[in-house]
Structure 1
Amino acid sequence: MKSSYKNSAQISKSIFTTQNIVLASIGWGVLALLYFLLFSAKIPGADGVASRAEWYLVGTNIFEAIAYLNAGILCLRNWRSPQIMSSRNVWLAIAIGMISYSLGGIFFGYTEIVLKEEPDASIGDVFFVLSYISLGVGMILAVAARRINLEKWQWLIVGAIGVFGSLLAWWISMQQATGEQETIVTILNWFYIVSDVLLLIIATTLLLAFWGGRVSQSWRMIAAAAFSLYIADMWFKYAQGPNYQSGEILEVFWVFSGVLFGMGAALEYDASLSRTRRERGRKRG
């Protein structure tokens, strides 16, 4: 019994290596991109109105949900690891954000595909709001745990990206601010816009602060994930209107975001284990 347990544990370790996780994540992102490119065309219906196939929309939701769920599981693995270099609370917060985003996407897809409804606010927004709050907390904790000592030119980059991101978000929101909206919808819209800009600024700061460090690769992935989330959210906000249909090509950046968060978590885990092995080797030496 013990030998079979050891064999299964060894097999799982050999399969779920960081290299395999990263390759699988890249493969998932490439498959998602091909799926969006090949099948996102609108098909004329019996009523003459062009729309995307329902099976295609189901597929986009599956790609997105699995990407974020996988990222959440990998972040939870980091949270449970006592060897992790970054604060475990950082990864717990990001894990909650990833799983919440996955659930939000599932509820959004169910409302759109199964119920055939497109409400301005739904139960999925509860999980999306929780995901943004959790992601913000996790990334702020990551910044706070590291002494930020950026050069002046680096602060200029952070400021420039913050200004550009804010202006773009404001311009898009003004374009879409037509007619009367319910108070809750207006609050949600501005919450998402402000959250996207803040995550963009924090991601830029993290990217510059961790550049060249021991965990630089993992946090480059996290920063790229935040940039991808911003691109997808801004496109979604820009494209919304009476003729909007889910599944536009730029929405693949939601999948990319989940994939990159997962890759960042896997690389951090691997770097932490490597450091632990080096420290043990030095003690033995």
Structure 2
Amino acid sequence: MSSTPDKPNKDGLTAWLSTPNLVLLSVMWGVVALLFFLLFSVTIPGEGRPFWYGIGTLLSEQIAFTFAAALCLRNGFSSKIASGRNVWLFLGFGMVSFFIGNLFFSWWELYWELDPAVSPGDLFYVGSYFCMTIGMILAVRSRRLNLELWQWGVILAIATVGVAFAAWVSHPFEFGLDASNAIADGAVTIETARPAPDWVITLEKQLDPFGPPLNLLYVVLDVLLLIIAAILLLAFWGGRFSQSWRMIAAAAFSQYVADMWFKYADKNIPNYESGDLLEVFFTFTGVFFAIGALLEYDVSTRAVSRSRRRRGPSS
């Protein structure tokens, strides 16, 4: 008797957490983030962005990546996923790594008010790229690639444009020790409104020389992610899982756009503060990964249910 009243509540919760509702929730979060950036990203000349705006952009990204991480890891720990559990485990770990990297980046920029050209968060950002790349490569390996000539042409065109744009953004490639020498000579000083402790200043100086090669590494990983996303898009084209992998490809493209803009702005805009309009694509990255994970889980579980119905009850 006591279990009867609980059933409607459970059914209602299950219906609320259905795939269409969660996809709609993800889309709504992307729209909210876009409106937030559109309304508040423009600043008055000579004035920086307020602290609350930085917190708002951080939350828009962190909530999207948290949701994406939870859904990707759900797929990774599910035995029903057709494209492979390891694929989604690596994608989930990539989302978690990006989340942690964002925390360090924001700690450096918002709290200590430093210019986080390099911060401890970069270790997790790089880890995020590697995890996402490995996950997408595993997805490609799960398919028997039989692409036509025009499809390889599309991939080559995307790779060419991606490399050319990345090279233009990153030009010139600087690997000298000018930055570290400038710090040593006192030419560069770190000024913050909130005095940072000595260990933070020391770490900032130690990490600064790694900025140029790290930026080049990001560019290479961005282009690699873009190429793999194009291959995935064509490999899964027209199949049952095409919708989910279109979303994953869109996530990789969003990551490329946001990261290329950040690299360009940080290099060419004096005293650039993160949070410009195009950085909303970081939030879109998490949103698209979440939607892709939802669609993959929905299609996989439906396929398993149909297979069980065909076999019928075991005797």
- Verify same fold: TM over 0.5: yes
Distance 2:217 2:7 in 1: 49
Distance 1:191 1:9 in 2: 48
- The question of whether the paired residues in 2 share the 8 Å contact of 1:42 and 1:53 is answered with no
Determine whether 1:185 maps to 2:211.
Answer: yes
- The question of whether the paired residues in 2 share the 8 Å contact of 1:65 and 1:103 is answered with no
Distance 1:135 1:126 in 2: 14
Distance 1:111 1:141 in 2: 34
Distance 1:71 1:150 in 2: 30
- The question of whether the paired residues in 1 share the 8 Å contact of 2:174 and 2:212 is answered with no
Q: Name the structure 1 match of 2:66.
A: 69
Superposed CA deviations along residues 146-169 of structure 1, whole A, max 9, x for unmatched, are 111110000011011111101111
Q: Name the structure 2 match of 1:161.
A: 158
TM-score by length of 1: 0.93
After TM superposition, give the deviation of residue 177 of structure 1 in Å.
4.3
Superposed counterparts of 1:45-124, under 5 Å: 49-124=46-121
Superposed CA deviations along residues 193-215 of structure 1, whole A, max 9, x for unmatched, are 10000000000000011010110
Distance 1:59 1:86 in 2: 35
Match of 2:254 among 220, 225, 228: 228
- The question of whether the paired residues in 2 share the 8 Å contact of 1:71 and 1:261 is answered with yes
Superposed counterparts of 1:1-285, under 5 Å: 9-43=10-44, 49-175=46-172, 177=174, 180-181=178-179, 183-241=209-267, 242-284=270-312
Structure with larger Rg? 2
Secondary structure at the counterpart of residue 240 of structure 1: helix
Superposed CA deviations along residues 58-99 of structure 1, whole A, max 9, x for unmatched, are 100100011011100000110111111111000000000011
Change (3 A) 1:2 1:122: farther
After TM superposition, give the deviation of residue 102 of structure 1 in Å.
1.2
Kindly tell me the number of residue pairs found equivalent between the two proteins. Answer: 281
Counting aligned pairs with the same residue, the percent is 51
Unpaired stretches in structure 1, ≥5 consecutive residues: none
- The question of whether the paired residues in 2 share the 8 Å contact of 1:107 and 1:124 is answered with yes
- The question of whether the paired residues in 1 share the 8 Å contact of 2:175 and 2:212 is answered with no
TM-score by length of 2: 0.85
Secondary structure at the counterpart of residue 171 of structure 2: helix
Q: Name whichever of 159-168 and 235-244 sits farther off.
A: 235-244
Change (3 A) 1:55 1:178: farther
The amino acid that maps onto 1:39 is F
Unpaired stretches in structure 2, ≥5 consecutive residues: 180-207
Distance 1:214 1:272 in 2: 9
The amino acid that maps onto 1:25 is S
* TM-align CA RMSD: 1.8
The amino acid that maps onto 2:235 is A
